[in-house]
Amino acid sequence: MNARSKVKKSGYGGGGQAAVFLGLLWCLLLGVSTGLSSTADEDEVLSNSLDEDRFKRDQGNNQDNDVHLTKRDQSSSCPGWKMNCRYYHYTVPMSWQQARAFCRRMGADLVIINNRAEQSLLNFLHMAGWLGLSDQAYEGKWIWVDGSPLTVQFWDHGQPQKNNGNEDCVVSHTQEHKPEHTWHDYPCSAAHWVVCEKTDYK
């Protein structure tokens, strides 16, 4: 009776140890599984984050090319140009003829201002310099470099001056307080900065 009781007790004890061992093994496996799951989740979150950033970047690159005052105006594809590679401001003084030749070498021409919005834009960008406007062919008849007549005018007060007919070319000076009165006529041989414009925008 006592021996049989001891055998049962001994057997019960062995089973308990096995159960504890299996329990510890299960916890270990569960922990590894949870860790792997957590790592997978973190990888998925990181992947989704990168995909979202890539999406936003692609969306930004696919925006329309309208004229806006944005960071994209300083395009890396055309250094020095502004407004989606439309305008170029060259701050080395030269004559009107030299300025036009310079613009043409760059696939552009001296700027033509057709409306108040463009005048205000160039003034805002501080683009002072020669315009593509002159009355060299006929005194008092102002013609743009593309042959079109002057329709909208933004002369400063007292301009244009006659000066014995020697001031045949036009410069725009930026004016913060009077952006619609910036044009002055000068002798075409005078030295001023240059404002070029890609002709395919007209």
For position 194, which CATH number holds?
Answer: 3.10.100.10
Same domain, 20 and 92: no
Same domain, 108 and 134: yes
Q: Global pTM? A: 0.63
Task: Please tell me the distance from the alpha carbon of residue 37 to that of residue 192, in angstroms, as a whole number.
Answer: 69
Per-state percent for the chain, helix, strand, coil, to nearest 5: 45, 20, 40
The pLDDT assigned to 67 comes to 39
> Which residue range(s) make up the domain with 110?
71-201
Same domain, 171 and 102: yes
The pLDDT assigned to 146 comes to 96
Same domain, 139 and 182: yes
Same domain, 27 and 101: no
The pLDDT assigned to 24 comes to 58
Question: Is the CA virtual torsion 15, 16, 18, 19 positive or negative?
Answer: positive
Task: Please tell me the distance from the alpha carbon of residue 141 to that of residue 158, in angstroms, as a whole number.
Answer: 17
Contact at 8 Å (CB) between 158 and 115? no
Helix, strand, or coil (residue 5): helix
Q: What is the DSSP pairing of strand 108-110 with strand 81-82?
A: unpaired
The pLDDT assigned to 15 comes to 55
Same domain, 179 and 113: yes
Same domain, 193 and 110: yes
The pLDDT assigned to 21 comes to 58
Same domain, 33 and 110: no
Same domain, 41 and 78: no
The pLDDT assigned to 66 comes to 35
Total number of domains constituting the chain: 2
- Averages of pLDDT over runs of 10 residues in the chain (202 residues) are 43 52 55 46 42 41 39 64 95 98 97 96 97 95 97 96 86 93 98 94 62
Task: Please tell me the distance from the alpha carbon of residue 99 to that of residue 112, in angstroms, as a whole number.
Answer: 14
The pLDDT assigned to 26 comes to 54
